[in-house]
């Protein structure tokens, strides 16, 4: 390390350390501003999680639920969705409790889209991208759907940060969920593939539907993720369905994150892409940019996250409860887009 670098490090240490070398409070102006940020983060998390748990406990118990048509939009996750009958149904089908968490919303959103477009039936074929250990392949297989569950190679997932957050198949041998299906049936209906989402193999064709859950924002850039969505249509039969969720920066004006491990899409990116899809003859479900106005829509969770190192204090707060999170200083939530491929066949070239 050069003398200049060592000097800079010493200056930064002096500015940011909580105490001086004599164990006295560090009173410089910069540290005075930032010294309580970590505590503020933990306070926000504690109150937000407590509110979310109490609200979930107060939800009415649905002893029996039924799948029904709701006319799902391309939309963001909201508190109203979590409290809806359609989320309650798919949560029950997945044998999981209803919690105010965007990952539950993503799972139920994909299943609702598959159902109301007529693909939740025996003999259909589905392709999942970036599946990790998610329960959707197991659930679909239990309904008699032939599933190809794919994920990035382990090295690529590690580089993109998926493996460290347990979003990759490497965190589980296979996406087999024993509470949803027996092993023999799973192996009969589910095949496992390693797939580079930036270079989808040409033999993956003829599927009735495909999906991905918050994977495409890890492909390197905003354009790369949108290119993946368009290329995923090549895997479908004419009239097939694509359902993808992504990280959405709720603030459309101003900058966003691009060309990074996790990119954040904005309304303008989705609107432009939807127009491009329409020009190609594909049908995009109506775009709905209502981000919600209820308490859990307003709560923005902050780091540290459970999968980050040195997160003992965060772990003591229990499992995360949030619909929106802070990513690199931006407010982000999950957004789902539904596309029906042109009945005229491949028009993506």
User: Any idea what the CATH number is for the domain that residue 187 is in?
Assistant: 3.40.50.150
On whether both 27 and 74 belong to a single domain, the answer is: no
Q: Is the pTM of this model over 0.95?
A: no
User: Is 230 inside a domain boundary?
Assistant: yes
Residue reference for tokens 């800079």? 8
On whether both 81 and 201 belong to a single domain, the answer is: yes
Q: How many residues does the chain have?
A: 349
CA separation, residue 44 to residues 36, 47, 51, 274, 277 (Å): 12, 5, 11, 36, 40
User: Is 305 inside a domain boundary?
Assistant: no
On whether both 82 and 227 belong to a single domain, the answer is: yes
Residue reference for tokens 């690199």? 328
Query: What pLDDT is attached to residue 70?
Result: 98
CA 255 to chain centre: 21
**Which residue range is the domain that position 92 belongs to?**
70-294+328-340
On whether both 21 and 146 belong to a single domain, the answer is: no
User: Is 347 inside a domain boundary?
Assistant: no
Facing residues of 192 across strands?
149
User: Is 115 inside a domain boundary?
Assistant: yes
CA separation, residue 254 to residues 268, 269, 297 (Å): 11, 13, 21
On whether both 336 and 216 belong to a single domain, the answer is: yes
On whether both 276 and 212 belong to a single domain, the answer is: yes
d(CA 233, CA 293): 34
Of residues 166, 168, 147, 165, the one with CA closest to residue 157: 168
User: Is 311 inside a domain boundary?
Assistant: no
On whether both 141 and 281 belong to a single domain, the answer is: yes
On whether both 122 and 190 belong to a single domain, the answer is: yes
On whether both 173 and 238 belong to a single domain, the answer is: yes
On whether both 108 and 158 belong to a single domain, the answer is: yes
User: Is 200 inside a domain boundary?
Assistant: yes
Contact between 277 and 244 under an 8 Å Cβ cutoff? The reply is no
Query: What pLDDT is attached to residue 106?
Result: 98
Give me Rg for the CA atoms of the chain.
22
User: Is 348 inside a domain boundary?
Assistant: no
Number of domains in the chain: 2
On whether both 74 and 18 belong to a single domain, the answer is: no
d(CA 69, CA 158): 39
Facing residues of 191 across strands?
148
105-120 CB burial, b ≥16 within 10 A, e <16:
bbbbbbbbbbbbbebb
Of residues 335, 160, 328, the one with CA closest to residue 255: 328
CA 163 to chain centre: 14
On whether both 79 and 25 belong to a single domain, the answer is: no
pLDDT < 50: residue spans in the chain: 155, 157, 159, 162-172, 348-349
Spatial neighbors of 179 by CB under 8 A, at least 6 apart, are 95
Task: Copy the structure tokens of residue 73.
Answer: 């939009």
Q: β-strands 287-288, 300-301: how paired?
A: unpaired
User: Is 315 inside a domain boundary?
Assistant: no
Of residues 297, 258, 278, the one with CA closest to residue 342: 278
């Amino acid at each position: 390390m050069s003398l200049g670098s060592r000097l800079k490090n010493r200056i930064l240490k002096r500015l940011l350390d909580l105490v001086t070398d004599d164990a006295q409070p560090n009173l410089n102006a910069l540290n005075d501003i930032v010294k309580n940020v970590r505590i503020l983060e933990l306070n926000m998390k504690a109150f937000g999680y407590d509110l979310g748990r109490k609200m979930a406990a107060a939800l009415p118990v649905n002893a029996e639920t039924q799948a029904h048509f709701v006319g799902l939009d391309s939309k963001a996750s909201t508190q109203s969705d979590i409290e809806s009958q359609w989320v309650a149904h798919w949560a029950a089908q997945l044998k999981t409790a209803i919690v105010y968490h965007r990952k539950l919303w993503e799972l139920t959103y994909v299943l609702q889209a598959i159902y109301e477009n007529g693909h939740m039936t025996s003999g259909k074929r589905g392709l999942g991208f970036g599946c990790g250990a998610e329960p959707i392949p197991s659930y679909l297989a239990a309904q008699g759907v032939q599933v190809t569950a794919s994920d990035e190679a382990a090295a690529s997932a590690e580089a993109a940060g998926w493996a460290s957050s347990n979003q990759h198949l490497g965190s589980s041998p296979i996406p087999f969920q024993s509470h949803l299906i027996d092993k023999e049936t799973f192996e009969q209906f589910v095949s496992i593939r390693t797939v580079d989402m930036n270079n989808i193999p040409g033999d993956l064709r003829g599927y009735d539907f495909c999906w991905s859950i918050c994977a495409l924002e890890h492909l390197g850039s905003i354009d790369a993720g949108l290119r993946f969505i368009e290329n995923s249509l090549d895997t479908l039969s004419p009239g097939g369905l694509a359902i993808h969720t992504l990280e959405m920066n709720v603030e459309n004006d101003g900058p966003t994150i691009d060309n990074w491990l996790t990119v954040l899409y904005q309304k303008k990116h989705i609107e432009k892409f939807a127009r491009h899809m329409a020009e190609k003859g594909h049908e995009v479900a109506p775009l709905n940019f209502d981000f919600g106005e209820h308490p859990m829509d307003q709560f923005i969770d902050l780091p540290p996250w459970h999968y980050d190192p040195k997160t003992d204090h965060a772990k003591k707060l229990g499992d995360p409860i949030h619909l929106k999170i802070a990513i690199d200083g931006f407010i982000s939530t999950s957004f789902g887009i539904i596309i029906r491929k042109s009945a005229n066949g491949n028009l993506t070239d």
